[in-house]
Structure 1
Amino acid sequence: MSAFCRRDGVLHAESVALSELAADFGTPCWVYSRQALERALDEFQQELRGLDALVCYAVKANSNLAVLDLLARRGAGFDIVSGGELKRVLAAGADPGRIVFSGVGKTAAEMELALTTGILCFNVESAAELERLNDVAAKLGTRAPISLRVNPDVDAGTHPYISTGLKENKFGVAYDEARALYRQAAALGNVEITGIDCHIGSQLLDPAPFAEALDKLLLLVDQLATDGIVLHHIDLGGGLGIRYRDDDASTTVAAYLQPLLARLAGRPLRILLEPGRRLVGNAGVLLTRVEYLKPGEVKNFAIVDAAMNDLARPALYGSWHEIVPVVTRPGATRRWEIVGPVCESGDFLGHDRALALAGGDLLAILSAGAYGMVMSSNYNTRPRAAEVLVDGAQAHLVRRRETVDELLALEQRLPC
């Protein structure tokens, strides 16, 4: 995470000390680096230079308007999974013609909104969805551009909660049924077949499953061509992982793309990619302050002001985030459980961390730019944290901290 580095013992985001951000904006607080976001997108765009290709950022990873605005300015498209995300990317200045709409449960209202907006493509995930989309497009007197999200039954080798490409997953059209469903789509009057799509999972660090899935898709592309169904684009999804700790395996964007691009060479297919975590994961940290130290006979607890409602991944997936002091403290370390104030035993941010700590210390939870704020909640009536985007020596508040009064304003007592 080169955008986050130490200067005189203090962790900085670009040229701004995280201790200054905590003083200015309070804790917990999300901090993102513009430099890291731009570099991550540039990695993809440089490898794809000269090709007919579009990087569609997976909005679900981090949907802050400033993040979306920054990526849109640099030529990214967007992969959305709800009508709310569609409105977000439009508010951020996205070109509708660079938006793909994924997700298994699109409502008729969401379809109508996307059709009237003029998006690039719907990634259709079932026969029932295909029929509904055709009906909605007929009602509007238009044709819906579609691809089928094909489930290639490839084991991505990742956590079962974020694996999406196996037969038992809810996502996509079964590989063995896809050809027949394409034929069915070709017979409908209000859909236009434009491509094919797949997405096999998230946090993948081995390029082999991507290549295996692509081989199966290309076989289907050739079969469809014999049926007279010619596709114009192939959407390879996202899922390329990031390094959460020093000993994690690592895959470069080049190593990921090269085997895929070699297989696609000579084919007149536009290439779409849907990276999410890879673009934003290592571009963000969560700042938190130690409220209490509670040494115990079996475990030592460092109780901080961030919690599972802020960063759900450790409690939800058992995932690891590196946790480091913002200001280096001399002295011996102890093993600490980093836990929050939420009334759940599962409220933890890190287990068994060797740290030299004192009450009031600031900690940075690293690699928290993806699936952090977007998955946060108001459990225990905890207002969601502020978000700050650092650009060089400037810090921009891109989402202010919620207040309890704002949470209560949506509710009311019984009249009698």
Structure 2
Amino acid sequence: MLPGSPFLHRDAAGSLHLEALELNELASRFGTPLYVYSRSAMQAAVAAYQRALAGRQHLICYAMKANANLAVLQTFAQAGCGFDIVSGGELARVLAAGGSADKVVFSGVGKTRAEMAQALEAGVRCFNVESIPELAVLDEVARAHGVRAPVSLRVNPDVDPKTHPYISTGLKGNKFGIAHSEALVTYQRAAELQSLHITGIDCHIGSQITEVSPYQDALDRVLDLVEALEAQGLSIHHLDLGGGLGITYTDETPPTPEQLLAPLLARIDARGHSQREIVLEPGRSLVGNAGVMLTEVLFLKPGEQKSFCIVDAGMNDLMRPAMYEATMGIVACQTNTEKAKTAHTWDVVGPVCESGDWLGRDRDLAVAPGDRLAVLSAGAYGMSMASNYNARGRAAEVMVEGDQARLIRERESVSDLYRLEKRWD
């Protein structure tokens, strides 16, 4: 069985499909490297969260750093989602896609004054403040604009999310958030600043989390703070529980949204906080398994120690393996029984001039030059982290729904890469 989306399947002839469309045909039509996303998979992922929160006052804010394509954002806006942003550029994208600023939470440790002003003018729902100096600057900017900035504090609960250290965000040694031990005094400081308005509390402990227990530990620490704050007369309207729910890349078995949220909601109710609005910031779990990256085999290079399957997609197209040593499924778009008899173990590598340019190690594949491969679970942190390293244009993006496919981002040309540059003439 293929990991990831139920919308990904093979037909009787061994051809890999996303929804009703053959991926090999899409590679021929649009070229490679190519990102392909299932709109239905994204809608199903949102619906799972909405069912888990049925009957609750809630807002699902898609963490758009996972995939910020306008058609992706439009899909989530039409499903009723808000957005979790970390830059002024992301806010502009939300608005261009038809999203509402009053459903936007602005996170991030390094908001500039210009970005704060942009967000205040747009009317964002809330700033997730991550340091005491940021509080002071936001108060100044809001005062200059004659408004009060709605804020929650992102509290660092010092909880181990049991994930890769680069995507752990809730430990003492991480740059994110305000230390749990400093949260009370920081909230008191925020309450003294006349151009700020406290609306909630925020917590985010990491990404690709596949267990419920870290969320439960973080929630208890957050609720302890809420109770202490309200004992001092500070009102907290919403609980932002963050995101970070993992997906299946190979053999992971993360909880479903319902399995994650049921015990958390039960704990919230048991401690007397059922009246509070719940805000969530899922990213990867909404888009990760909705997408694949297609690439074509260029050369096969057998060797004494390693054999290399060289493809036309590289680390500039998909950074996760090189950056995180991430393991992602790689399968042929078309299986062939004759080739299967001569399957070989390959390292799947790209054309970028770096030894770290690899997509998968020790993969058993029966392939020949000209065949297409699909890198699975590539809807999150694929195109959003892509670069132009080695003067390589970024891939095209396609979205499918049923038997319809639409180009939602054109492939970059070489001239696109230096369009903003000037010669010394």
TM-score when scaled to structure 1? 0.99
Q: Distance in 2 between matches of 1:155 and 1:250?
A: 16
Any conservation in 1 of the 2:291–2:377 contact (CA below 8 Å)? yes
What aligned pairs does 1:112-261 form with structure 2 within 5 A after superposition? Answer: 112-245=117-250, 247-261=251-265
Pair 1:375-2:371 in alignment: no
Q: Distance in 2 between matches of 1:46 and 1:95?
A: 22
Match of residue 361 from structure 1 = 371
Pair 1:282-2:289 in alignment: yes
What aligned pairs does 1:9-408 form with structure 2 within 5 A after superposition? Answer: 9-245=14-250, 247-265=251-269, 266-267=272-273, 268-330=275-337, 331-408=341-418
Q: Distance in 2 between matches of 1:194 and 1:132?
A: 18
Deviation at 1:332, TM superposition (A): 2.5
Match of residue 414 from structure 1 = 424
SS in 2 for 1:289: strand
Identity of aligned residues (%): 58
Any conservation in 1 of the 2:294–2:375 contact (CA below 8 Å)? yes
- What letter corresponds to residue 369 of structure 1 in structure 2? G
Deviations 1:155-189 (A, max 9, x none): 11110000000000000000000100000010111
SS in 1 for 2:362: strand
Question: Which stretch of structure 1 is more off in the superposition, 403-412 or 195-204?
Answer: 403-412
Deviation at 1:253, TM superposition (A): 1.2
Deviations 1:68-114 (A, max 9, x none): 00000010110000000000001111111110000000000000000
Q: Distance in 1 between matches of 2:368 and 2:192?
A: 68
SS in 2 for 1:219: helix
Q: Distance in 1 between matches of 2:50 and 2:227?
A: 28
Q: Distance in 2 between matches of 1:409 and 1:368?
A: 29
Deviations 1:248-288 (A, max 9, x none): 23311111101110112242211000000000000000000
Any conservation in 1 of the 2:156–2:203 contact (CA below 8 Å)? yes
SS in 2 for 1:353: strand
Deviations 1:375-399 (A, max 9, x none): 0000000000000000110000000
Deviations 1:353-374 (A, max 9, x none): 0011111110000000000000
Deviations 1:17-58 (A, max 9, x none): 011111110000000001110110000001111110111000
Aligned residues: 414
Any conservation in 1 of the 2:245–2:254 contact (CA below 8 Å)? no
Any conservation in 1 of the 2:209–2:254 contact (CA below 8 Å)? no
Deviation at 1:329, TM superposition (A): 2.0
Deviation at 1:409, TM superposition (A): 1.3
Deviation at 1:65, TM superposition (A): 0.3
Any conservation in 1 of the 2:292–2:377 contact (CA below 8 Å)? yes
- What letter corresponds to residue 86 of structure 1 in structure 2? L
SS in 2 for 1:130: helix
Deviations 1:200-231 (A, max 9, x none): 00000000000100000000000000111010
**Which structure 2 segments of 5+ residues have no match?**
none
Any conservation in 1 of the 2:126–2:149 contact (CA below 8 Å)? yes
Q: Distance in 1 between matches of 2:143 and 2:132?
A: 17
Q: Distance in 2 between matches of 1:159 and 1:288?
A: 27
Q: Deviating runs (4+, > 6 A) in structure 1?
A: none
- What letter corresponds to residue 13 of structure 1 in structure 2? L
Q: Distance in 1 between matches of 2:419 and 2:124?
A: 35
